[in-house]
Structure 1
Amino acid sequence: MEDPQPDLLYSEEEEALRAAVRDLLTDHCDAAGVISRIESDTPHDLALWKSLADGMGLAGLLVPEDRGGQGATHREAAVVLEELGRAVAPVPYLSSAVVATEALLACADGSADGEDVLASLASARRIGVLAVGLHTAPGASFATARAVDGVLHGELTGIADAAAADVLLVPADDGGLYAVEADAVTVTGQTSLDLTRPVATVVLDGARGRRLGDAEPAVRRALRAGAGLLASEQLGLAEWALTETVRYLKDRRQFNRPVGGFQALKHRLAQLWLEVVNLRAAARNAAAALSAGRDADVAVAVAQAYAGQVAVHAAEEALQLHAGIGMTWEHPVHLYLKRAKADSLAYGTAGAHREALAELVDLRAP
C-alpha cells in the first residue's frame, strides 16, 4: 500500500499558532522599530526573541517533550517562520530553534553535554548557532576548525546570528562537533546586505570545546532543515510584498481612478499571485516531508530551487509598484528586498539545489 500524500492544508492548530505569532509581532515588531534597530549596534531584538521563544515556548518546537521541548513538528515551525518572514523580524529563530537544534538532535543522544545544550536552547535560556557559513548548501563541504585535544583554532566566516549566540556548535577537522561558549571566541561583524540577519567571522584561538558527536551527519541534517524551512520564511516575505502592493495600488489614484485598475498592473499582480501560490505548495511540501521523514531531500531541493526567485521577484515588484515612496528609507520594502536577496543565497543557491535535485532523481544534464 502506498503512503498517503501529505496534507498541505493548514490545520486548526497551525492557524491558531499563526494568529498568536502574528498578534505578538503586530504589537512588538513594527517596521519603524525594525528600521531604527538595524541602524544601531544591536540589530537583534532580544526582547522580542524572549517573548517568542520563552513566553510562547517556540524555541523548543522541534525538540521532543521528553528532552525538554514542545514535541511539535516542522509544520508548526514553518508556520512560525512564515510570520517571522512577513515581519522581517530580527530574531535568531531559524539559526537557533531550527538549525542549531537540528544539529543537536542529530548527535545529542547519549551525550550529557549535548542534552544539556539542547535543553538550554529548547527553554530559550541560551541562543545557539551552528558555526557553518550561511551560504552552505545541504550536502556541500564546509569549513572546519582545527582541533587538538578539545582545543579549537581557526577562522570561520559568514556565520549568521553569531553576534547573538551564547553557544556555538563548531565542526572540527577531527570529525567532531563541539560546543564552544561564545565568550571564548572573537566575533567580528561582516558587511551584510540583510541587516536583520547579520553574518560574522568567528575566530577560535585556543577555545576549549565539548565534543557532542559527529559533525558530518549533524551538519547535513541541520542544513537540510534550515533550507527546507527557509522556504516558509520566503513565502511569508512574498505574501507580505504581494498583499501590501495590492493594498497600495487600490488606494493610489491616477487620472481619477485607482492605479490597481490598470490592465498592465493587473497582469503583473496576477502573475505574482500565481508564483506565490506555487511557492506555498512547495514550502508546505518541504515542511511536511521534513516532518514525516520521507523524501525530504527531494522536497527541500524543489522548494529551494523555486523559493528564492519568487521572493526576490515579489520584493522587486513591491519596490517598483510603490513608486517613489518605495525608494525611501522610511518605507519597509527595502527590508524585504534585502532579506529576499540574502535568503536567495542562504543554504545554497537555486542553481545548487537544481543540481542536487537532478542527482536525486537521476536527471543529470547531458
Structure 2
Amino acid sequence: MTIATTDEQRAVQESIEAWARSAAPMDMVRRGPANSWRQGWPDFASLGLFSVAVPESVGGSGAEIVDLAAMLEQAAIELVPGPVLTTALAALVVGRSATPAAKRWSEALADGAIPCAVVLDERPVAATATESGGLELHGDGGFAWGADAGVSVLVSADNGNGVVWVLVDGESSGVTYDALDTIDKSRPLAKVSFDRVVVDADRIIGDIATGSVADLAATLASAEAAGIAAWSLRTAVEYAKIREQFGKPIGSFQAIKHLCAEMLCRVENVGAVAWDAAVAAESGDELPIAAAVAAAVSLDAAVDTAKDCIQVLGGIGFTWEHEAHFYLRRAVSLRQMMGGSSRWRARVAELTLAGSRRHLQIDLSALESDRAEIRSEVAQLVALQESEQRTALAESGYLAPHWPVPYGKGAKAAQQILIEEELAAAGVGRPDLVIGWWAVPTILEHGSVEQIERFAVPTLKGDITWCQLFSEPGAGSDLAALRTTAENVDGGWKLNGQKVWTSLAREADWAICLARTDRGVPKHKGITYFLLDMRTPGIRISPLREITGDSLFNEVFLDDVFVPDDCVVGELGGGWKLARTTLANERVAMSGGSSLGGAMEELLVLAGSPDPVVADKLGGLIGTAMVGSLLELRTTLRQLDGQDPGPASSVRKLVGVRQRQTVAEFAMELGGPAGWVEGPLSREFLNTRCLSIAGGTTQILLTVAAERILGLPRE
C-alpha cells in the first residue's frame, strides 16, 4: 500500500511515472556530474510537486501535505535527481509562513524556478541586523542539503534577539558552497559558509520554530524513504520470479520468500508512518510525535529494504551497472542527513514519556444523520438491567452489527464503527462470542435454514458456546493434511480421529469440526464441515498444560462419534472452502483507547525516567506500536472505501505479534528481580510465546504473504 489513498493522488503518481519513462532520470544520475539534474528540472517542476501543498493565495495549488508526500514517494521510486526534497521543503515552509516574504518568494519556489537547499543544523548561523531591516550573515553554515552552484538556501540565523529563517540567494556575494563528493550520486550536498552576506528584509521568512522545520523535513524524508523501499521490494520480487537456480525460480525458495515478505512488511510500515506524518502536518498539533515516529521507523527501513534488494539480486546487484546501489546510496544519505534513526527514537521516547500521543480517528461526518437514531437505541439498552442487556443486544442486532438482518444490522463498514463508538461512549460492553464470531457467519452464509435458526440466535444470547476442532497432531499450519475421518452411516456420519490445541473444549456446547469424508481425492478436497455437539458419546477431552502452567488448550479424541446429517454444513467435500471462510471472518473495527495499546502504556510506566540505552529501545517499540495502529487504521479506511483489506491486514498480524512479544520481554527485563519470580511480568512473557504459533506460525504467514500478495511461485 502506497502513501496514496485517493484517485487524485494515484493520478499524480502516474504522471510522475510517465514523465520518468521519457526523461530517464536514472540516465541523468549515471551520467553525472552532480549538477546533471538541471537538464530535466524544468519539465519535472511543471508536474506540480513543488506547488501542490503551497496555498493558492501565494501561488500554489492549495492541496494538502499528504498529496505532496504521495508525489515525493513516486519521485523517489523514479530516483529523480537534484534538490527535489529540499525545494519541496522550502516551498512548504515559505509558502505557509504568514510573512511578506511568503508572498514574494513562494510562487517562484512553487514553480521550481528557484531550486533550493536547506540547512537542518540545529545551530543557527551568526547574524547581525542591518540598518535596512535585513541581516548580515557570517561564519560556517554547516551542511546544505541539496546545495549546488547558484541554488538558493533556506537557513536559520540568530542576530542575538532570536532565531529566524532566511532564504539566501546562492549567487549572493560572500556565499561559498564547498561541494562534497557524497555517497548519494543523485543529490548534491555542500558545506556552506557566509562572509558578510547581506540578506534583505524581504528574504526573512520569520521566526518559524526550528523544530517545526525539522518535523516537516522528517515528514517529507519519510515519504522519500517509502519510495525507496517500494522500488527495492518491486525490483527484488520481479527478479525473484524470473531468476532460476537448480531448475526453478529463486522466488520459489522459502529463504527468498521470507526475505521478500519481510521487505513487504517494511514497505507497509514506512507507507503507513509517512502517510500519517503528512496527515498530522496539516493540523500541526500532533506533528512532532507523528514526524518523530515516521523518521524513527522509515529511515532504517529504507536502508534495510535496499540492502535486502541487493541480497535477492545476488551478484548482479553488486555491480555498478545495476541501479540497485543508487537506491541504497540514496537511503543511506537520507538517514545521515536526518541525523540517524537513533536521534529520532530518542525523540519519540522523550515526547511519549512527556505525554504526547497520536489520536487516530476516522471521519464519520457523512453518517452523522444516523448517529442520533443509534444513540437513542443504545440509550434504551443502557436503561436495562445488566442481566437483560445481552438479550436486548442480540435482538436489536447491536451485538453483531456486521451480521445480516435479523441477526445483525447488516451494517456497512462505516456504520459498524459508528455503532462501536456509541456503544463505547454509553459504556455498553458487547459479550465476546469467541469462536462464535467465526462459526456463525459460516453457518449464515453456507448453512441450511434450519441450521441458521438453530444456532444463530442462541449463540448471540449466550445459550450456545463454541470451540474449533480443526488442528490435529499432523495438521497444524498444513490444515489440509488432517486425518480425522467421517464414515457415512445410517442417518449421519461416524467421526474418528484426534484434534489438538483446542481452547474451550471443556466449556463449549458445540464445535465446528473438519473431517475427511473422501480419502480418494487430493487432500484439499474430500474434507467436510461438521457441527458437533460436544456432549455426544465418544468424545474424550484431555487438557494440555502450557508453559505458563495453565491448561487452556486441549486434546480432543473422537471415537465413533455420531454426527447426524443435519449437522453437515454446505456440500460434502466442500469443507476446505468453508474453513477458509471461517478463518477469514473479521468484522470492521478500530481499537479503542491508546494508539500505543495497553501493554505499551504499562511498559512506559515501568520505564520511568530511562537512560539513553533504554530510551532508544523504548522509542523503537513505541514506533512499532504506532505502526500497528496505523496499519489497522489504513485497513479500515480501505474497507470503508469498499476495497479489500489489502496487504496491510496481513502485515498488521505479523507486526502485532512481534510487538507484543518484544514488549513483554522488555518489560520483564526492566522489572529487574520482579522479572525472574513467578508473577505478571514473567507470565506475560511466557504467554506471548504462543502468538507466533497460534493461528498460523509467523513463518507460514511470511510464506503466505510472499505467495498470495507478492505473487512468488509456490515451492
Q: TM-score range by the shorter chain?
A: 0.7 to 0.9
Alignment partner of 2:165 out of 177, 191, 209: 177
Q: Quote the Cα distance in structure 1 between the aligned partners of 2:151 and 2:189.
A: 15
CA offsets 1:148-184 (integer angstroms, 9 cap, x no match): 5222211222111110554323322213333322112
Is structure 2 residue 257 aligned with structure 1 residue 262?
A: no
Residue 186 of structure 2 aligns to a residue whose secondary structure is coil
Q: Indicate the residue corresponding to 1:16 in structure 2.
A: 11
Let me know the Cα RMSD of the aligned residues: 2.1
Q: Indicate the residue corresponding to 1:199 in structure 2.
A: 189
Q: Indicate the residue corresponding to 1:349 in structure 2.
A: 340
Residue 39 of structure 2 aligns to a residue whose secondary structure is helix
Q: Quote the Cα distance in structure 2 between the aligned partners of 1:49 and 1:65.
A: 22
Alignment partner of 1:168 out of 141, 153, 178: 153
Q: Quote the Cα distance in structure 1 between the aligned partners of 2:207 and 2:57.
A: 25
Q: Quote the Cα distance in structure 2 between the aligned partners of 1:159 and 1:75.
A: 25
Ranked by relative contact order (alpha carbons within 8 Å, sequence separation 6 or more), the top structure is: 1
Alignment partner of 1:326 out of 317, 320, 332: 317
Alignment partner of 2:44 out of 49, 52, 55: 52
Q: Quote the Cα distance in structure 2 between the aligned partners of 1:116 and 1:36.
A: 36
The TM-score, its normalising length taken from structure 1, stands at 0.88
Residue 269 of structure 1 deviates from its aligned partner by 1.2
Q: Indicate the residue corresponding to 2:371 in structure 1.
A: none
CA offsets 1:100-135 (integer angstroms, 9 cap, x no match): 12332454x242x442122221222222333x24xx
Residue 223 of structure 1 deviates from its aligned partner by 2.0
Contact 1:166 1:182 in 2 (8 A): yes
User: Which sections of structure 1, spanning at least 5 residues, go unmatched?
Assistant: 1-7
Which of structures 1 and 2 has the bigger CA Rg? 2
Q: Return the letter of the residue paired with 1:337.
A: L
Residue 146 of structure 1 deviates from its aligned partner by 3.0
Residue 207 of structure 1 aligns to a residue whose secondary structure is strand
Q: Indicate the residue corresponding to 1:68 in structure 2.
A: 59
Alignment partner of 1:250 out of 228, 241, 247: 241
Is structure 2 residue 292 aligned with structure 1 residue 297?
A: no
Contact 1:179 1:210 in 2 (8 A): no
Q: Quote the Cα distance in structure 1 between the aligned partners of 2:280 and 2:193.
A: 36
CA offsets 1:190-237 (integer angstroms, 9 cap, x no match): 231112122101121122102444765253322211111211111111
Q: Quote the Cα distance in structure 2 between the aligned partners of 1:31 and 1:167.
A: 25
Residue pairs, 1:63-212, within 5 angstroms? 63-98=54-89, 100-105=90-95, 107=97, 109-111=98-100, 113-130=101-118, 132-133=119-120, 136=121, 141-149=122-130, 150-163=135-148, 166-174=151-159, 175-184=163-172, 185-211=175-201, 212=203
Change (3 A) 1:152 1:270: same
CA offsets 1:42-82 (integer angstroms, 9 cap, x no match): 24x123221121x2232211211111111011111111111
Q: Quote the Cα distance in structure 2 between the aligned partners of 1:292 and 1:19.
A: 28
Residue 310 of structure 1 deviates from its aligned partner by 1.1
Residue 320 of structure 2 aligns to a residue whose secondary structure is coil
Q: Return the letter of the residue paired with 1:160.
A: W
Contact 1:147 1:172 in 2 (8 A): no
Matched length: 345
Moved over 3 A (4+): 211-216
Alignment partner of 1:365 out of 610, 616, 622: 610
CA offsets 1:278-299 (integer angstroms, 9 cap, x no match): 2211111111111243411111
Percent identity at matched positions?
Answer: 29
Q: Quote the Cα distance in structure 2 between the aligned partners of 1:25 and 1:324.
A: 27
Contact 1:168 1:180 in 2 (8 A): yes
Residue 146 of structure 1 aligns to a residue whose secondary structure is strand
Q: Indicate the residue corresponding to 1:3 in structure 2.
A: none
Residue 42 of structure 1 aligns to a residue whose secondary structure is helix
Q: Quote the Cα distance in structure 2 between the aligned partners of 1:294 and 1:29.
A: 40
Contact 2:155 2:168 in 1 (8 A): yes
Residue 40 of structure 2 aligns to a residue whose secondary structure is helix
Q: Quote the Cα distance in structure 2 between the aligned partners of 1:82 and 1:9.
A: 9
Q: Indicate the residue corresponding to 1:5 in structure 2.
A: none
Q: Quote the Cα distance in structure 2 between the aligned partners of 1:294 and 1:172.
A: 25
Contact 2:55 2:96 in 1 (8 A): no
Q: Return the letter of the residue paired with 2:42.
A: K
User: Which sections of structure 2, spanning at least 5 residues, go unmatched?
Assistant: 354-603, 612-715
Q: Quote the Cα distance in structure 2 between the aligned partners of 1:290 and 1:319.
A: 34
Change (3 A) 1:33 1:46: closer
Q: Quote the Cα distance in structure 2 between the aligned partners of 1:29 and 1:210.
A: 39
Contact 2:83 2:147 in 1 (8 A): no
Contact 1:126 1:165 in 2 (8 A): no
The TM-score, its normalising length taken from structure 2, stands at 0.46
